[in-house]
Every structure is written in C-alpha cells, then in structure tokens.
Amino acid sequence: MLELAEIAVITEASWGLGKELALALVRRGIAVAGIARDPFQAEGVLSVTADVRQSDQVARAFDEIRDRLGAPTILINNAETYPDRDILDETPASFMDTVQLNLGGAFNCCHEVLPAMVANGSGRIVNVVTFADVSPAPLAAGYSVSKGALRILTRALVADLGDRFPGIVVTDWVPGTHQPRKGIPDGVDPALAAEWGAKLALMRRADLNGRVFLRDREHQPPRSLKGRVKDRVLGQGRARIRL
C-alpha cells in the first residue's frame, strides 16, 4: 500500500498551545492547516477560518484544506473554552455554547476527517482533554461536563472503529495547565507541551488506541495493591509509554 503524506489539522491554532502544535509539526516536515475563528499567521501553516461550533463552517474549512493540501491524516482537537462562570449565572444557552465548542466542535471535525481515514484504513485523532470531569472545580460546570464528554467521545470512536479499522488510532492527551491559561505563571510552556503533542500525533501504533497521555507519558488508571501484586506475579504489568 502506498504510504500517504501526512497532513495535519489543528483547531484553535491561532495562539497558545494550538499554534505551537502547528509549528512543531511543520518543523517535522508535516503539511499543517490550522483552524481558528479569526485569520492568523504562522510560518508554514495554512490558516483556515471557521467557528468549529458551526458544522457548515467546519465543512467549508475542510473543503478548503482538502483542495489545498489533501485529505487530512491527523486531527488534533484542541479548541476549547473555559468560561469561568458560576452555575447560578449559567443559562441554558451559555452552558450549551460551552458544550458545543468543547464537544460539538471536536465531533464536527471528526465527522469531516473520518470518511477519508476509513477509505485509507489509517488516521490519527488526538483529543486534547483534561481530568476536570473527575473533580470539577468551582465556576467550571460547562467546562467540566463538556471535557468529560469529550473523553467519552474518544472511547465511543474506539468502540465503533477499533475492531474494523485498527489503523485509525484515537487517543486522549492531557497537556497539563499551560501558560498563559487562567493567568497561571508557572504552567507548562506551550512550546514544550507542543513537542509532546506532536510526537503523540505522529505515533501510529494500533496498541495506543483509546489510551490516555498526561503531559509526556501514558496515564494509567490507579491500581489497587492487590491488582499490582497480581500483575507482577502474572507478568502482566507494562511500563508506561513515554513521548
């Protein structure tokens, strides 16, 4: 089978982590398109304007990407919003707007890339997630619910596609709290986090399907002492994958 040239799409690519991810992939020789609501400039990156909440805008954006670069082989769903809003101040409209961006935007983009990935039998989807659903913070109801649902979307994609199309690899990545998000001065440098994300996006191993990565290594759910002893006795334990 002829190996396809890699073509990556990153959402919310105009600033911060998204922009650094796009540049990190360009440095690796990958053709990259970045989607953002406003036009932007980044060396070597095709800037495409769209609001990922709007499926018609996403469809037009991917039509442009396919016309100018080809069918995407890599999708990094990075777009998100963190409204920092008390639940008593939420309205049905404001809550669902957060869900539509953080979850709906990712689905809209997956919907656009999957037909070609299925036809080619390969592809790479990385969903940028958090653990906000595990322990929601105050003022973050919409964010916590939508980012938790995005993790479920990853598992749903694996459930539907994993057996039939093992070459389409879908993973979750938690890059860590990165600067300048929420004004945290000591967060992870987006350029450093982007190096981890770029490496993950280029890993095509089928055994990564459905796995979760935290910063620069695989995140494995905590195991009880009994479970850890059993793994050791049966030789079933494995080392975490490093990026």
Token match 């919310």: residue?
12
Q: What is the pLDDT of residue 221?
A: 75
Whether 81 is in a domain gets the answer yes
Q: What is the pLDDT of residue 236?
A: 63
Whether 102 is in a domain gets the answer yes
Whether 166 is in a domain gets the answer yes
Mean pLDDT by 10 residues, the chain (243 residues): 80 97 98 97 98 98 98 98 96 98 98 98 97 93 97 98 97 80 68 97 96 94 61 66 91
Whether 1 is in a domain gets the answer no
Q: Please give the Cα distance from 200 to 189 (Å, whole number).
A: 17
Q: What's the domain range around 203?
A: 7-234
Query: How many CB atoms are closer than 10 A to CB 3?
Result: 6
Q: What is the pLDDT of residue 187?
A: 78
One-letter amino acid at 173 equals: W
Q: Alpha helices, DSSP H only, in the chain?
A: 16-27, 55-68, 92-99, 105-120, 141-161, 190-201, 225-234
- Identify the CATH number of the domain in which residue 210 sits: 3.40.50.720
Q: What is the pLDDT of residue 230?
A: 57
Q: What is the pLDDT of residue 18?
A: 97
Instruction: Tell me the sheet residues that pair with 75.
Output: 9, 125
Whether 206 is in a domain gets the answer yes
Whether 220 is in a domain gets the answer yes
Whether 72 is in a domain gets the answer yes
> How many domains is the chain partitioned into structurally?
1
Whether 239 is in a domain gets the answer no
Q: What is the pLDDT of residue 239?
A: 77
Token match 């400039």: residue?
41
